[in-house]
Amino acid sequence: MGAVLFPQHVIARKRDGGELGREEIESFVRGATDGSWADYQLSAFLMAVYLRGMTPGETAILTAAMRDSGTVADLSSVRMPKADKHSTGGVGDKVSLHVAPMVAACGVAVPMISGRGLGHTGGTLDKLESIPGFRVGLSIDEYRRQVGEIGLCLIGQTAELAPADRRLYALRDVTGTVECIPLICASILSKKLASGIDVLVMDVKHGRGAFMKDKARARELAVAITTVAKAMGKPTRALLTAMDEPLGHSVGNALEVEESMACLRGKGPADLMEVTYAIGGQMLVLSGAARDGGDARARLERSVSSGAALGKFREMVSAQGGDVRVIDDPDRLPRARLRRELPSPRSGFVTEVDALGVALAALQLGAGRARAEDPVDPAVGIDRLVKVGDEVGAGNALCRVHANSEGAMGEALGMLGRAITVGDARPAPARLVDEMIG
């Protein structure tokens, strides 16, 4: 039996820049799981890691310990390869809603554990819950059974999966240690690797509306995640994608569900589909279901044109208790009481649609949450949003706002007026998918 590890000694070792061993890191994770470390000790350790960093080896040990702090889903009975994707969060990023059924329609199972929106970034679970009756709180047994039966399941983190992460994430949020690459890496991968997947594709965003504003930092995170995942035996690739303007034309939960269903009918916006095909393509290639990117894209396009992807979405909504009638009649989704267009102040070309500004307007409407416990209004948001490079005339609509109060409507219209800029010259198109790591 090894020596007793006191929290203060482990904290001091990391504070002084030491490289921690497996027993020390596992004692920290165990303390977070069973309560044997106090919150102030966990917080002190998190700050020491924030300031001193971790080696890839330490990060891999931390990730494995957090994964193993609870149940690791066994999906070995599912014969298909199992792929997942994860986005670091953006504005109008509804890719998961439609790429998952597209990939599943191509013969690759997608067991996806998603999160809720916090701050200015949206959450997949909030979007799904705007479908009346849709259940995201499935048990591990229900999750396993559904993946086996239809090859597709989108749920929230259960109490059994990576419980250490739940406590540590809450502490990171209030101790100023969220933006720490080893901690981000362990948080994301511990949940993903506990879900029973074979391969993972990361969408690491950078720009004004992204969690990581700086591209160099986003690349650093992408390299860290792919390196640690590879060390743990999980093939992982990361795409760097730009998030200076929102993805697609809609921001807000029910509005984004409606736009995702349009994507599944082959009517998705070009920018949104570019990211969708890039991510979905890598999910197929990494799983061995496609030879290369060109073959993968052709398969994904066929899944849409044949109706198979929409059929998979329908199966998932039905299996998880949602009202499938919304698929053919989107007006059954929650609708806001007020709708109003924002007119362009002049003619010209759209030169900027500031993703953060649009997101804050949506937050003002009630589409997101400033704190984890805040309620979300599924009906409100922004749609028909212009894209950078669009030509507009004076008085033409720049977007349409959906609100449930006059006060929120007025505030949001003012914020959107400042977020969208119209100028004389059409700007050069921006590169959306920058680079692939891993």
Active site members: 86, 165, 172, 187, 191
Q: Which residues pair with 206 in a beta bridge?
A: 212, 242
Contact 284, 107 (CB under 8 A): no
309, 323, 351 from 396: Cα distances, Å: 35, 35, 15
Query: What Rg do the C-alpha atoms of the chain give, in angstroms?
Result: 22
Q: Which residues pair with 200 in a beta bridge?
A: 84, 236
CA dist 50 and 209 (Å) reads 23
CA dist 203 and 186 (Å) reads 16
Secondary structure (3-state) at 425: coil
User: Quick one: DSSP state of residue 290?
Assistant: S
CA dist 227 and 143 (Å) reads 28
Contacts of 318 (CB under 8 A, 6+ apart): 324
Structure tokens at 241: 């994608």
Pairing mode, strands 152-156 and 397-403? unpaired
Helices (H), 55-139: 56-67, 95-105, 124-128
Q: Is the dihedral of CA 374, 378, 380, 381 positive or negative?
A: positive
